[in-house]
Structure 1
Amino acid sequence: MTKDVFPVTYSTLECKALVTRVLPEYEIAEICTCQFWHRGLSDIYLVETQTSRYILRVSHHHWRSRSEIDFELELLDYLHQCHLPVAYPLRTTTGKLAVEINAPEGKRYAALFPYAPGNVALGDLNQNQSFLLGETLAKLHFSTRNWRSRHQREPLSLAYLLDDAEVAIAPFLRHRNEELTYIQQLISEIKRQLTNFPTQAPYWGICWGDPHSGNAHFTSDGKITLFDFDQCGYGWRAFDIGKFLQVSIRTGMPKNVREAFLTGYQSVESLSKPEINSLQAFTQTAHIWMWGISLNNAIRYDWCRLDESYFTQRLQQLKRLNSHDWQLF
């Protein structure tokens, strides 16, 4: 980088430039609007033509490598070929699933998806929607049992899920020694419970990584479309269920709706007794993992969130998940 250009950690790509320099790579109708829709682990743009809507997702340079993105996009393309209801990436006119962008901070990658039909469940899932979500997740796990990628992506191992999160969390709790010790001891206990968990099919395979009510659209006639596979990878299927439970407990989803998700899942794939018994540990793991991800992103562009209440709230949630009555919340 030349000395007269100031270093950049994160840039916001101009909508007009995306319309003229990225979207022409795709065979779609004339674009009417392109709006910067949401900033999350990627930047999301809503693209509209006269007849269709699309989501343009642009990766963050610091978050995902080209190999990791290719892994996810090829997985979604495979799921679409298997006729599973996912928001799948469109190919460019040259057959690519992603478009490389030379952003000021480094390489970023854009992928275009048809807009998932329907909407996020109003007020959260009902029992029928929860059953359908669990059923669809089980079909995803079953359909990908023999899928292999030539691209590298970090597996959802205990080291990745827990150790990296602990490294992110610990510096912020040095002055709260008792609570830091609590987290460290809980991580050790989770590892003790899960270290010898099977790492072969059907227990281990492709995971969505982020199954919850906010990552699925439902139509009025009861159809579902899954999206946001940014956190996918090889992992334990029980972790995917734990991730659903972690989000749904945090948002206050009723217990009978959560149970409908498990019933839907097991209408396709039966869980073993050890998997059922491990769900509390995997739910705690999901909470700790997402805490670490949240911290690493806040450090980059939302430091004001990291006050004492931020940490107190997450500690309280973790302690509830570690209680005997964790499923009653």
Structure 2
Amino acid sequence: MLDFDPLYSTQQVEAIERSINQHYSLTGPVSCQMLQRGLNDVYLAVGSNGERYVFRLSHRRARGPADVKTETAFLTHLTQSGVPVAAPIPTRDGALFLQGYAPEGAREGVLFRALDGRKPQATDAGDARANGKTLALMHNAAEAFSPDGALYRLDLEHLLHRPLARIRDSGIVEDADVRSDLEQIAARTAMAIDAFGNLTWTYCHGDCHGFNARISDAGEAVFFDFDDGGPGYLAYDLSVFLWAQVSFGRSSTAMWDAFIDSYRAVRPITPDDFEAALRFVIVRHVWLMGEYASRAQEWGSETVGWIAREADFLKTWEMEQFVDRLF
């Protein structure tokens, strides 16, 4: 007989429905359908009165458990501060998240009201400006939030060094020269960021690439998906939007300009934070590579094999942006 030890299990939709109906005071029973399986499991839940909700079941990740306690506390703070975000819905007992046990271990669930509005468009400068404004409002509100007990700090250890180790340990990058390139780029990037010395620290969204939002009828970007957030570098939070404009073959910065102009209309950016954001593009890419590398056993080496080809992007970005500071 085979001895199974699952890395990741998918829950029956009926079990998700039962959990929501048991723990939340909604109008009538809900019916669910899975929207997404992967980094997290995401379900659309529809009540008997047509009300729509989103239930997110956190994935067990290499970083450790999902920090839903800090995340939901921050979202509640943002809602109370008037920042447009998808706020968590409390259970009958007033809790902002649930915890259950799958074959692979504990997993956490959060219920949100589904957002109205449309998906942002990649080439719409108005949508880029809306994202910049909401991120600035979020960072302003974050100044009055204390992330006591946060499980993760979005520092270089979390965003760069550990992901690089996951890439190395996964065996996906077989070429020793490519591994050496990645390590040298990471070392130079860390040294350059450390040299700033006075970068702004805030509570980060962590994944503000422009599409973790819905654009309301009023033109606001309403944010969701704070799963990768936490206390960290403001420059990193800015850089994710730029990274989305220049990675994986993209080369447009017009949306970045619109995003930054709108951000600055609400909140100033120090010269060091702006300059560091260019460096953090590399950090963001290595972080993503590390996330995928950590799932090689779950998703398969072919699914994550693109990681081995990404040194060229990092070298090109470094050379184009910082060639006068490399030597």
- How far apart in 2 are the matches of 1:248 and 1:104? 39
Select 1:256's aligned residue among 254, 265, 278.
Answer: 254
1:36 and 1:45 in contact (8 A); partners too: yes
Matched with 1:57 is 56
In structure 2, C-alpha distance between the alignment counterparts of 1:22 and 1:8, rounded to whole Å? 25
- 1:315 aligns to what? 311
Question: Matched residues in 2 for 1:250 and 1:145: separation?
Answer: 31
In the TM superposition, residue 292 of structure 1 has moved relative to its aligned partner by 0.4
**Equivalent residue, structure 2, for 1:22:** 20
The match for 2:210 among 208, 213, 230 is 213
Aligned-pair CA distance for 1:33: 2.3
Scaled by the length of structure 1, the TM-score of the pair is: 0.89
Rounded to whole Å, the distance in 1 between the matches of 2:209 and 2:131 is 8
**Ranges of 4+ aligned residues in structure 1 off by more than 6 Å:** none
- Figure out how many residues of one structure are paired with residues of the other and give that number: 319
Asked if the contact 1:216–1:227 (Cα under 8 Å) also holds between the matched residues in 2, the reply is yes
Query: Unaligned stretches of 5+ in structure 2?
Result: 323-327
2:231 pairs with 1:234: yes
Match of 1:275 in 2: 273
- Distance apart, 1:125 and its partner CA: 4.3
State whether residues 35 and 43 of structure 2, in contact with CA within 8 Å, keep that contact through their aligned partners in structure 1.
yes
* Counterpart-to-counterpart distance in 1, 2:173 and 2:127: 43
Distance 2:133 2:181 in 1: 36
- Measured against aligned partners, the alpha-carbon deviations of 1:235-281 in whole angstroms (never above 9, x if no partner) come to 11111111111122226363222100010111112111222222221
CA deviations on 1:126-149 (whole Å, 9 max, x unpaired) are: 111111111110111111113113
Q: Which moved more, 1:25-34 or 1:136-145?
A: 25-34
- CA drift of 1:199 comes to 5.9
Q: CA deviation at 1:108?
A: 1.1
TM-score (norm 2): 0.90
Give, in angstroms, the shift of residue 120 of structure 1.
Answer: 1.4
For structure 1, list consecutive stretches of 5 or more residues without a partner in the other structure.
none
Q: Counterpart of 1:240 in 2: which secondary structure? A: helix
Structure 1 contact 43–58 (Cα < 8 Å) conserved: yes
- How many Å separate the matches in 2 of 1:125 and 1:79? 28
Residue in structure 1 matched with residue 41 of structure 2 by the alignment: 43
Greater CA drift, 43-52 or 298-307: 298-307
Identity of aligned residues (%): 25
Q: Is the Cα contact below 8 Å between 1:67 and 1:152 reproduced in 2?
A: no
After TM superposition, give the deviation of residue 64 of structure 1 in Å.
6.7
* AA partner of residue 102 (structure 2): A
